[in-house]
Amino acid sequence: MSLNDPVTNMKHVMCINPIVVAAAATVDGASVDTKGFRWATFTVQIGVAGGATLTGIAATITSDPVTGGAFATAISGATFTAATLLAGAACLSGRIDCNKLDYSTSRWLRIEVTVAGAAVSVPISAVCVLSDSEDNTKYQTETYEFTV
């Protein structure tokens, strides 16, 4: 298999399982170990808001040298937001170049999603796709075929 093979060159990490978040609340995602990968792409899926109008949603990527740490350091330039979402669903996405991280302080990443608005609730979930691995055989996943 080549390094360009997406099956052996990626790892998917579920950061936030689907959850309904109330206004003015922040949800912390699972820790993501970036060791051995060049890119970490975070995607937040936003469902249809209930209640009042959702006035905004923000996702920030924070880092820590160990899993389970404080994750107090925000990665510079790694905040992505959506303005007012009146109806329908949306996705936010942002990518981190892991080669630019200092592993002594930033090996582990975590996404934090904050919902803005009054009397609103919104379903969200988030995933991180790690790609461009150094060892493309380590993260092989099983392949399934679906028949409709």
CATH of the domain at 59: 2.60.120.1310
- Residue 5 domain-assigned? no
Question: pLDDT tens across 18-60, in order?
Answer: 999 988 889 999 999 999 999 999 999 988 888 777 777 888 8
Give me the residue label for tokens 């099956």: 7
What backbone phi and psi angles, to 5 degrees, belong to 104? -70, -20
* Domain hosting residue 21, numbered range: 10-133
- Residue 122 domain-assigned? yes
Question: pLDDT tens across 75-101, in order?
Answer: 888 887 775 444 457 888 889 999 888
Q: What's the DSSP call for residue 52?
A: S
pTM over the 0.85 mark: no
Give me the residue label for tokens 């820790």: 31
